[in-house]
Chain A
Amino acid sequence: MTVTPAPAGTRTVLALRGISKRFGAVQALKNIELDVRAGEVLALVGDNGAGKSTLVKTIAGVYTADDGTMEFDGQDVRVGSPAEAQQLGIATVFQDLALCDNLDVVANLYLGRELRKGRALDEVEMERSSWALLRQLSAKIPSVRIPVASLSGGQRQTVAIARSLLGDPKVVMLDEPTAALGVAQTAEVLNLVERLRERGLAVILISHNMADVMAVADRVAVLRLGRNNGVFVVSDTKTQDIIAAITGATDNAVSERAARRTREDGTAS
């Protein structure tokens, strides 16, 4: 997989300015700035509890920010509900997947945007295209007519990912989409992310797997304790720098890296 850097001057689809969010005594996000460009994969990384999921949910309209503004396609927008985010063209795979366990796979895929024939649901067409979509994700799902509750963790994740692709989004946010996936399915999702970029979509990818991040992302935004902690262009950054930013060692990154390199050289030879 080769990474092509985002073409210079690509349009910014989504811009966050000074987003803050607190839960009671916890300041989950503080003054977050973020630019997401069309045709770019932006990885969002950070330690557990850094605020990644909170940021994604704020963009997706699940939470409303306490402070700050959001621009979409150059317009100031206020996203008051998940429905409004979807209408703008923001699709999200949540970390907790947000599936209805009592509904079957087809119903979950099309929830909120069911295909209809007249006033009735068009179950046949929904089932047909569900299969087509799942096949392309190499999904290992035996039947789309069983309740989602009876699927494995990875199968559920595949359903959630497939759902985000319906409805022609402009921005796709994936919150740890490959956490539960097998090797082949992970590779398919990474391929998918690249294909979404080729189609000119903006992709926000959250992952703890630095190898995946370095493989598909164009830029990496680091969150630390609810604050921005640097944005790195992947093509000219080393994994170690990003890890340092994640863990909070940026202040003396240079010296630490130098130290580590001498140590590695020592053990390698």
Chain B
Amino acid sequence: MTLHGSEIRPQDAPGPAGTGTGNGNGAAAELPADLQDERLIASHGLSGAVSAFTARLRSGDLGSVPVVVGLIIIWAVFQIANSSFLSSRNLVNLTLQTTSVGVIAIGIVLVLLLGEIDLSVGSVSGLSAAVLGVTFVNQGWPLVLSLLAGVALGLVIGLFYGALYTRFGVPSFVITLAGLLGFLGLQLLVLGKEGSLNLPFDSALVGFATRSFLSPALAYGLVAAVVAVYVLTRLRGRAARAAAGLSAAPTSMIAIKGAALAVVLLIPVIILNGDRGVSSMFLLFVGLVVATDLAVRRTRWGRSVVAVGGNVEAARRAGINVRMIYLSVFAACSTFAAVGGLLAAARLVAVNQSSGGADVNLNAIAAAVIGGTSLFGGRGSVYSALLGALVIMSISNGLALLSLDSSVRYMVTAGVLLIAVTIDSLSRRSRQAHGRA
């Protein structure tokens, strides 16, 4: 190899064809810039994609595979035990039950991405529900104002956590443990003596959470629109990569993925339409998941969150405002908790002392972990909130169908959580062994 004296100009570096200093074989120049290294195992087309996927799995990069497999097993077991489990009616119920825990779990995924934890999401959700109940029912505030008060409360609590964490370096575990107790106390105080409030059944909020479903036509139209947007963005991304001289997925691959997405969306929609249909509240949850996922994967903020979760010091030295990242993530988590609390109150048409209590907290945290977000920080997907919440609520729904009481439910959920955490730890070890930690 010869050393060449060409100018280094990082800003306006020459095109991908490059100067060909590397391999010295003429063919390299014609390959896309990212496929020129001789050591790359050629993977083309569908079989290439499949083998790349299995190789990733074997190295411990499991992603959401365990939770999808787990969900299928859980559903199969319950369906065998009780044939009404996978009925349209019960699945619609499941979507309604999943929403509030799922929304709270989105926030948990964000703090876990940072390698932190928020143990107080249950209490915060209960407190925001209490604020909604007292201001809306007792004080007669306009609904919108009450809702905003609940959400704003979550935001303020999160900023408070973030400030404590970044100013004084108190571990998030301790801060939020204090929050768990403190805000439970505040919830009881806000609710006062009677301790229980019923929301008016005819209010828009209750209607949204219990009676609002998409018409079948709208649901199918939405599926078509989502698939179309997906395929179009994929095609545009492909064109952009090709124009930049990078390898691009074959159109057949995009077509297959688009078709798979259509099937994955259509089947549940068809089943749900067999009963009341797709719940507006559930759609809101899925929308929040998609939006948060895009924020994490496609924005500078999200990239910074993952970087801080992976290596705080490296992120700081790269010029990232680490404080702002912690602050924003704690704020987002508590805000999602507050929203989840409001949705739970709306669905149950009531606010009481046990709102946000009992297992809300641990269900939300378990959902994020079961969904495949690592407890060790820097690794995970917002979709784990959706998948994990479905697992948790499927268990509780299925056991209720079998008329088993909460004693069994707690133990089964605990077992699933343990399995999920073990998978996380094992796959982390495997990643280390395969150099992908």
The stretch of A22-30, A41-49, A128-136 in contact with B is A128-136
Q: Give chain A residues whose Cβ lies under 8 Å from the Cβ of B241.
A: 124, 127
- Residues of chain B at the chain A interface (Cβ within 8 Å): 1, 3, 5-8, 10-11, 13-16, 18-19, 21-22, 33-34, 37, 39-40, 237, 240-241, 244-246, 294, 298-300, 303-304, 306-307, 309-311, 313-321, 378-379, 431, 434-437
Bound Cα distance from A168 to B241, whole angstroms: 26
- Take A102-B379, A127-B34, A144-B34 as given contacts and tell me if A149 and B436 are in contact as well, using a CB distance cutoff of 8 Å: yes
**Contacts A99-B314, A132-B15 given; 10 further ones with Cβ under 8 A?**
A62-B316, A82-B318, A102-B378, A103-B307, A114-B303, A125-B244, A135-B19, A146-B436, A147-B437, A166-B10
Bound Cα distance from A149 to B5, whole angstroms: 31
B314 x A133 contact (CB < 8 A) = no
Is A237's CB within 8 Å of the partner chain B? no
Q: Give chain A residues whose Cβ lies under 8 Å from the Cβ of B39.
A: 142
A141 x B37 contact (CB < 8 A) = yes
A83 x B244 contact (CB < 8 A) = no
Q: Give chain B residues whose Cβ lies under 8 Å from the Cβ of A136.
A: 6, 8, 13, 19
A111 x B307 contact (CB < 8 A) = yes
Q: Give chain A residues whose Cβ lies under 8 Å from the Cβ of B21.
A: 135, 138
Bound Cα distance from A155 to B204, whole angstroms: 59
A109 to chain B, nearest CB (A): 10
Kindly identify which residue among A102, A112, A137, A143 contacts B320, using a CB–CB cutoff of 8 Å: A112
Kindly identify which residue among A87, A128, A145 contacts B244, using a CB–CB cutoff of 8 Å: A128
Is A70's CB within 8 Å of the partner chain B? no
Q: Give chain B residues whose Cβ lies under 8 Å from the Cβ of A150.
A: 434-436
Interface residues of A, dominant DSSP: mixed
- Number of CB contacts from chain A to chain B under 8 A: 149
A133 x B13 contact (CB < 8 A) = yes
A138 x B1 contact (CB < 8 A) = yes
B4 to chain A, nearest CB (A): 9
Is A116's CB within 8 Å of the partner chain B? yes
Write out, one digit per residue, whether chain A residues 84-119 have a CB within 8 A of any chain B CB (1) or not (0): 001100001010001111110001000111101001
A100 x B37 contact (CB < 8 A) = no
B15 x A99 contact (CB < 8 A) = no
B5 x A83 contact (CB < 8 A) = no
- Take A82-B317, A103-B306, A142-B39 as given contacts and tell me if A131 and B34 are in contact as well, using a CB distance cutoff of 8 Å: yes
A165 to chain B, nearest CB (A): 4
Kindly identify which residue among B18, B237, B434 contacts A135, using a CB–CB cutoff of 8 Å: B18
> B11 — nearest CB in chain A belongs to which residue?
A168
Bound Cα distance from A132 to B379, whole angstroms: 28
Q: Give chain B residues whose Cβ lies under 8 Å from the Cβ of A192.
A: 8
A121 x B310 contact (CB < 8 A) = no
